[in-house]
């Protein structure tokens, strides 16, 4: 027996019945993005590994443990290519923004993307190795504004609402400027240093490499310790505290409810000032539908101009679909199904198939290449959800006609082939 292949772990097939739902989700999201004047950008699905390391941070969980890197596979020379599948969209969009000199042409570039992302995580419900994000990035010179931060957050919330989701929670926080982040890191280390030995090895490693990661820890011991720290933003500059107050004020103006969560730091290094996460408790442990924030220094860090600021977010499409639950999947519909009742009529049916595809560009048309009884061909038409069938049988062949049957009403009419196109058009229109 030949080997049967299955999906790589942590990936999924999106079958035709689900693609309809994916398509309608994408359409609704596009409508919302259009309202906010975001324009689509498409970047490659792989980039230089170093781009991700420099932006997300060498010690971030994603770069340290989850990068799916490419190797060349000629037999004797398995060399590393220096390329990796993209684990997220932000770094690539910033790379493209700089490379294409968008900072010269426009004020604020409002960009969005859809597409697969790749992380070598341990798969579980809601956590895949290939998943899909829709993301937005608003990037521009001197563009930092609390109004923009709040608008981007509101967009994320409104996208989810437009998809019919309502039971999610928005958490927000501020990390302060890049300088404040340094102060915050020292503040944390000072308070954690005497108790760090009681935490797990992973937390101890985080303490040394990137202390913020301890705040993300799910370990009960670490959580208890963090609770006792009373994170109150006292370590931030006045400038950052004022900026944060303005973001909250702008969210209030937009009537977007939020929960302040001082321990929310996000796992990627590039964030400064505002960060946020939207979660849905019904999803279990992988409850983040999406997340984002401001990243003040990233454009400069990747070789762009110093004054370019940015803010954005990404939503996970698979998690949105999980949160939507068992939405009705509308079965695919076929407009016209052509059935020949004898081998001798197949040529004729085949010519008609192509003629119909020409004449009815809005309709889907298929034919059955296997001749069988009327009953079994009609059964097949039903399975395909055909709206109309065209039957070419003996009577039709003898009188150069075709029979059209409306599958939902049972109405049928035999039309002369000489005029059948116009007749057919009228029949389809009136049925
Ligand atoms: P992130 O928090 O790493 O942020 O991912 C955003 C969302 O992608 C998550 O909230 C989740 O819904 C989905 N996601 C992430 N990993 C997986 C996975 N393994 N399986 C399924 N879904 C997943 C970013 O990627 C940032 N680039 C967001 C951003 C844009 N910040 C600024 N601009």
Q: Which of 172, 151, 100 is nearest to 311 (CA)?
A: 151
Q: Tens digits of per-residue pLDDT, 313-328?
A: 999 999 999 999 976 6
- What is the per-residue pLDDT for 399? 84
Mean pLDDT of 9-37: 94
The ligand 1 atom nearest the CA atom of 319: 12
Is residue 316 in contact with ligand 1, taking CB distance under 6 Å?
yes
The ligand 1 atom nearest the CA atom of 90: 27
Going from the Cα of 237 to the center of ligand 1, the distance in angstroms, rounded, reads 29
- What is the per-residue pLDDT for 328? 63
Mean pLDDT of 393-412: 91
pLDDT band at 75 (very low <50, low <70, confident <90, very high): low
Q: CB neighbours of 16 closer than 8 A, spacing ≥ 6? A: 332
- Mean of per-residue pLDDT scores for the chain: 92
Is residue 137 in contact with ligand 1, taking CB distance under 6 Å?
yes
Residue 79 has pLDDT above 80, yes or no: no
Q: How many whole angstroms separate alpha carbon 168 and alpha carbon 195?
A: 35
Going from the Cα of 30 to the center of ligand 1, the distance in angstroms, rounded, reads 19
Strands 169-174 and 259-260: parallel
Q: Tens digits of per-residue pLDDT, 188-242?
A: 999 998 888 888 888 888 888 889 989 988 888 888 888 888 899 999 999 999 9
Bridge partners (DSSP) of residue 315 are 134, 290
Mean pLDDT of 53-70: 92
Is 91 within 8 Å of 47 (Cβ atoms)? yes
On the CB side of 188, CA atoms within 13 Å amount to 27
SS (H, E, C) the chain: CCCCCCCCCCCCCCCHHHHHHHHHHHHHHHHHHHHCCCEECCCCCEEEHHHHHHHHCCCCHHHHHCCCEEECCCCCCCCEEEEEECCCCHHHHHHHHHHCCHHHHCCCEEEEEEEEEECCCCCECCECCEEEEEEEEEEEECCCCHHHHHHHHHHHHHHHHHCCCCCCEEEEEECCCHHHHHHHHHHHHHHHCCCHHHCCHHHHHHHHHCCHHHHHCCCHHHHHHHHCCCCCCCCCCHHHHHHHHHHHHHHHHCCCCCEECCCCCCCCCCCCCEEEEEECHHHCCCCEEEEEEECCCHHHHCCCCCCEEEEEEEEEHHHHHHHHCCCCCCCCCEEEEEEECCHHHHHHHHHHHHHHHHHCCCCCEEECCCCCCHHHHHHHHHHCCEEEEEEECHHHHHCCEEEEEECCCCCEEEEECCCHHHHHHHHHHHC
- What is the per-residue pLDDT for 418? 67
Q: How many whole angstroms separate alpha carbon 139 and alpha carbon 358?
A: 45
Is residue 88 in contact with ligand 1, taking CB distance under 6 Å?
yes
- What is the per-residue pLDDT for 222? 87
The ligand 1 atom nearest the CA atom of 316: 12
Higher pLDDT among residues 202 and 67, named by residue: 67
Is residue 269 in contact with ligand 1, taking CB distance under 6 Å?
no
Is residue 127 in contact with ligand 1, taking CB distance under 6 Å?
yes
Is residue 133 in contact with ligand 1, taking CB distance under 6 Å?
yes
The ligand 1 atom nearest the CA atom of 88: 25
Going from the Cα of 288 to the center of ligand 1, the distance in angstroms, rounded, reads 8
- What is the per-residue pLDDT for 77? 63
Q: Tens digits of per-residue pLDDT, 274-286?
A: 999 999 999 999 9
Mean pLDDT of 102-120: 94
The ligand 1 atom nearest the CA atom of 277: 10
- What is the per-residue pLDDT for 188? 92
Residues above pLDDT 70, as percent of the chain:
97
Q: Tens digits of per-residue pLDDT, 166-175?
A: 999 999 999 9
Q: Tens digits of per-residue pLDDT, 347-387?
A: 999 999 999 999 888 899 999 999 999 999 999 999 999 99
- Gyration radius of the chain over CA positions: 29
The ligand 1 atom nearest the CA atom of 135: 30
Phi-psi group of 284: left, alpha or beta (phi > 0 → left; psi -120 to 50 → alpha; rest → beta): left
At residue 128's C-alpha, the angle toward residues 282 and 63, to 5°, is 115
Q: CB neighbours of 164 closer than 8 A, spacing ≥ 6? A: 324, 327
Token representation of residue 9: 């772990």
> Which residue's CA is the nearest one to ligand 1's atom 17?
127
Going from the Cα of 134 to the center of ligand 1, the distance in angstroms, rounded, reads 9
The ligand 1 atom nearest the CA atom of 288: 10
Is residue 146 in contact with ligand 1, taking CB distance under 6 Å?
no
> Which residue's CA is the nearest one to ligand 1's atom 3?
88
> What global pTM score does this model have?
0.89
Residue 431 has pLDDT above 90, yes or no: no
Residue 395 CB coordination number (10 Å): 12
Residue 429 has pLDDT above 90, yes or no: no
């Amino acid at each position: 027996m030949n080997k049967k292949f299955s999906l790589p772990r942590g990936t999924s097939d999106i079958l035709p019945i689900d693609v309809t739902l994916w398509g309608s989700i994408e359409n609704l999201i596009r409508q919302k993005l259009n309202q906010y004047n975001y324009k689509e950008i498409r970047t490659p699905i792989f980039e230089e590994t170093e781009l991700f390391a420099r932006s997300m941070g060498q010690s971030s969980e994603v770069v340290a443990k989850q990068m799916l890197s490419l190797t060349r596979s000629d037999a004797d020379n398995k060399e590393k290519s220096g390329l990796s599948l993209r684990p997220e969209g932000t770094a690539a969009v910033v790379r493209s923004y700089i490379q294409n000199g968008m900072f010269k042409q426009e004020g604020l570039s409002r960009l969005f993307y859809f597409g697969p992302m790749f992380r070598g995580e341990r798969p579980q419900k809601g956590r895949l190795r290939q998943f899909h994000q829709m993301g937005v990035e608003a990037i521009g010179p001197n563009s930092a504004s609390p109004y923009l931060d709040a608008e981007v957050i509101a967009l994320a919330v409104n996208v989810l609402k437009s998809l019919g989701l309502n039971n999610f929670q928005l958490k927000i926080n501020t990390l302060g400027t890049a300088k404040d982040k340094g102060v915050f890191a020292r503040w944390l280390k000072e308070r954690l240093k005497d108790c760090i030995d009681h935490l797990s090895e992973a937390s101890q490693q985080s303490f040394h490499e990137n202390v913020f990661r301890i705040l993300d820890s799910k370990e009960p011991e670490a959580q208890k310790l963090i609770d006792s720290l009373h994170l109150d933003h006292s370590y931030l500059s006045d400038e950052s505290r004022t900026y944060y107050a303005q973001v909250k004020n702008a969210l209030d103006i937009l009537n977007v409810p939020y929960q302040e969560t001082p321990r929310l730091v996000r796992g990627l290094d590039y964030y400064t000032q505002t960060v946020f996460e939207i979660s849905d408790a019904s999803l279990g442990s992988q409850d983040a539908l999406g997340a984002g924030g401001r990243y003040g220094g990233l454009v400069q860090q990747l070789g762009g101009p110093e004054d370019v600021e940015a803010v954005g977010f990404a939503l996970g499409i698979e998690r949105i679909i999980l949160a939507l639950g068992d939405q009705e999947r509308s079965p695919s519909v076929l407009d016209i199904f052509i059935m020949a009742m004898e081998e001798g009529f197949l040529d004729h049916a085949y010519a008609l198939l192509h003629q119909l595809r020409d004449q009815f560009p809005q309709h889907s048309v298929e034919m059955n290449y296997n001749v069988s009884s009327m009953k079994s061909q009609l059964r097949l038409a039903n399975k395909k959800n055909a709206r109309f069938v065209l039957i070419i049988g003996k009577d039709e062949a003898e009188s150069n006609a075709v029979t059209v049957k409306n599958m939902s009403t049972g109405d049928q009419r035999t039309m002369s082939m000489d005029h059948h196109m116009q007749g057919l058009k009228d029949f389809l229109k009136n049925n």
